Structure 1
Amino acid sequence: MVRPELDQSYSNNGRRGVPKCCSYKRTTVIICSINIVVALYVFQNLYTSLYSYSYQHSRTAVTYTPDQIKKMEESMRIRKQSEPRKLIEIVKNIKQKLDRREDMVELPQPLKQKLSNEIIELLRGLNSGANTTLQHEAVERWRRQKLKEAKRVTRGKASNSSILPAEAGMLAKALEFNWAELSNDIGLWIPVNVINNVHDDKPEGEDDFDDILAGRRLPPECNAELHTDYGGHAVKWGLTHHKESAYECCQACLNQAKNARPDEMKCNIWVYCPAEEGCHSPDIYQHKLEECWLKYAEEPKVTFKDTYSENYRRNHPNAPMVVPWVSGVISS
């Protein structure tokens, strides 16, 4: 018998064929179309929500009148003016000082004493007529040389140096970044010259203290001497007798001597403190800026001159290296 004809749904090799209505191509197109429709729907909802929010926000925004704006600006100006600017500036300066203090290197006391002795010998080696400018320059040259030497020691390139390798790093940092604090610790204080470009009409050979001392030019009879302290009997107690300049202090001495009664001591020595941080004296008092001492002595004698000795500063730890007082003996 002849077998019936195979069903059309089978191929020649016996496997069922895929109907043309459910092909992979059509399925992919349908799925992509659905995804596009869903994406468009989501974008439409997002755009609608953003537009409605922006519209509602613009409707609820507060508008101010020019008078209200003016009052707000005035309020802001008053609040800004009422800020404690001076206090803020003081706090900022204190914070900067504390930050610098944290970075400051504390040198051992023997090393500080050694540096102090070197500077004393350096200043003593200068000419007796060297002014404060020359003193500053000499100390600055010493600082640079010492800093260079300390850095060479830290790099191991200075075997014959007097600086110990263990102290070289600290010393280099102190000399380079904390020189002001180190100078204060070792008692170094040299007045700063204030140089004014003015016509110089003073007689030749006359000492000029205008670059150092504030106030009017001292008259010749004052015989002013920098870094000098004279002893004598107190005619005017300097703790309660302050003057704004050395000129006024000397003038006070001249006036007292001129107007003194026959039974009173007449001032012939004046001693003035021009240092902002105060002046040292071997007594129990704290001597401050602008103290003016009027004294009398039959034979005036210098108590301190130029620098305090090493032995004296050893017995008086608060004494600076340089004598801060300025004084003079009145010409008779």
Structure 2
Amino acid sequence: MIDSHTHFIPEQVQQWIEENKTLINAKWIKKNEQTTLLSINDKWAFPLNENFTRTQSFTAAYSSFRKALVSPVPQLFLYDQPVDVTSELVQVYNDALVHLKAKDATFEGLATLSLQSPEQAAKELEQAIQQGLKGAIVGPGFGERTLADSFFDPLFEAANATQAVLFVHPLLHSDPRLNHSKLPNLIGVPWETTIAAANLIVQGVLDRYPNITFLLAHGGGFLPYQIGRMSKGFQSWENEFAKLQRTPLEYAASFYYDSVLWDERTLDYLLEIAGKNQVIPGSDFPFELNDWKIDQHKLNQTPSFL
């Protein structure tokens, strides 16, 4: 078995957060006797259970797995901080994941990057690849810029040159219309992935950087399930998409997807659209909304990057 989507906060990162708690406005919120939430800059508080923080607990969960691709926690991207602050945590986090990989061959790692400074992010990615990490986890953009914005070209050039994996993982959507009943997570999270992926297609990023392996979180958001609408638009407005080399469906089938969908019917549809080779087992462990109950035999358990 493998897991392409899991998160961990190494001890070195926890120590850095404690030492810099005032700077990044870190708060530990006691919800009850069993649950403590971690909040960074008053955003996206999440339950800090021992599977996030204790190496023994985290690694024990993967004792029967062949491989697990470990990513930093999105709440710790720190894109809203000054670059020197973000890059300091980037170094600590990435070094800790390199150490985890060295201690247990079950684990591969994805770096975190200073996405708000693509030039700095490119250097961090190159260093991470040299240290043995597979690539990086990145948010869907920065500020009003989606990942397809030319602002991020320095990062994509580095990722293309190193044949890196870029795991596109959303942050919670802040649209006030979703400010009810966990909708920022339930709807906002897959919506952010959809926006990022659609822009990567229509703005030609996949054509310009063919050596990057793009992995989309949570089954690609809503993209695969509205690919018919994109295809119809491609046919109806040919001039708008004349620069593209493939159809929307072909682009959609070039992404890799995790299987974090919680519904076998939805997963089967994704497999039909993208093909078995492009859909990889993932869990989103140890977040509350994780998905272990999948039949891995119908998915690609031997992707070339794991």
Global fold match (TM > 0.5): no
Larger Rg over CA atoms: 1
Q: Looking at secondary structure, tell me which structure has more strand per residue.
A: 2
